[in-house]
């Protein structure tokens, strides 16, 4: 699996904020040494954003005309966010992994989604835009420790998308406590370890009808790692098993980075990709 990346995504941020350039820089350095092939990210267009977001939300981000304690109005954030969306779009076409920031799965149509208090480090919903642009029957599998409330809001009731999320119960954004229609949520307890997580993932994937699904899109958050923000306690090795279970579906797969805030992010991504490749 190739990796979509641009060093431009390292140009903004606050070193005291969890979603800072260092997390992706360290991951890039690790993966570069593992001899992955890299594809340069290109910015999305405003037309791409309009597939998912309202003109009002796009304009707020473009002008920096918003205040969000989790999601700062950094200088030129609109351009950086466009580049992250573009990375997801390229990943969907190349069946690659987009190693870009900012993340996206908390951003709803008009920004805040399903009653969440903030945008949760997200400006535009990268994976949702990529999926909309593909126009294929898609399974979106969200493995971030936080529920992808924006992605659920965008695709709730869609006949073309099945959304499945495994996440920690009781943390930000406080959504995803039950399944609704085409959106299947699996809230897990604080402190979840490999065995329960993998058993739940297997249950989730085996309980949905994949007969018409053409592609799998993974919201790849690695903040489920022991010691990260979300309270789960997965091992680095668990991501190989997660990747293997996804690969065993026998469908094309692409992935887009969401969370993951430790210095071991690169190892987690490497294991995840290797698991997918081993299952093919």
CA dihedral 14, 18, 22, 23 (to 10 degrees): -150
Neighbour count for residue 17 (Cβ, 10 Å)? 14
Q: Are 238 and 78 in contact (CB under 8 A)?
A: no
Given a contact cutoff of 8 angstroms between Cβ atoms, the answer to whether 252 and 137 are in contact is no
* DSSP structural state of residue 86: H
Residue found by looking up tokens 């941020």 in the block: 13
Whole-angstrom Cα distance, residue 183 to residue 206? 15
The one catalytic residue in 57, 106, 147, 167 is: 106
Note whether 278 and 247 are within 8 A (CB): yes
Whether 106 sits among the annotated catalytic residues: the reply is yes
Catalytic residues: 106
């Amino acid at each position: 699996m190739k990796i979509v990346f641009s060093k431009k995504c390292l140009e903004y941020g606050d070193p005291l904020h969890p979603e800072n350039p260092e997390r992706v820089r360290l991951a890039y350095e690790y993966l570069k040494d593992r001899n992955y092939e890299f594809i340069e990210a290109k910015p999305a267009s405003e037309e791409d954003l309009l597939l998912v977001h309202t003109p009002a939300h796009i304009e707020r981000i473009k002008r920096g005309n918003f205040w969000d304690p989790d999601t700062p109005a950094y200088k030129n954030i609109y351009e950086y966010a466009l580049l992250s969306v573009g990375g997801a779009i390229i990943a969907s076409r190349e069946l690659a992994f987009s190693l870009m920031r900012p993340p996206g799965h908390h951003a709803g149509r008009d920004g805040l989604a399903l009653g969440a208090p903030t945008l949760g480090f997200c400006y535009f919903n990268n994976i949702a835009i990529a999926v909309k642009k593909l126009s294929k029957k898609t399974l979106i599998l969200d493995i971030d420790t936080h529920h992808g409330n924006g992605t659920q809001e965008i695709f709730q009731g869609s006949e073309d998308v099945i959304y499945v999320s495994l996440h920690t119960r009781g943390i930000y954004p406080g959504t995803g406590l039950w399944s609704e229609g085409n959106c299947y949520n699996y809230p897990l307890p604080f402190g979840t370890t490999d065995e329960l997580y993998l058993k739940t993932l297997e249950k989730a994937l085996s309980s949905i009808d994949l007969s018409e699904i053409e592609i799998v899109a993974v919201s790849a958050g690695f903040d489920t790692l022991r010691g990260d923000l979300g309270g789960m306690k997965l091992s680095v090795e668990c991501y190989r098993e997660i990747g293997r279970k996804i690969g065993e579906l026998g469908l094309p797969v692409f992935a887009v980075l969401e969370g993951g805030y430790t210095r071991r992010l690169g190892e987690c991504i490497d294991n995840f990709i290797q698991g997918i490749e081993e299952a093919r």
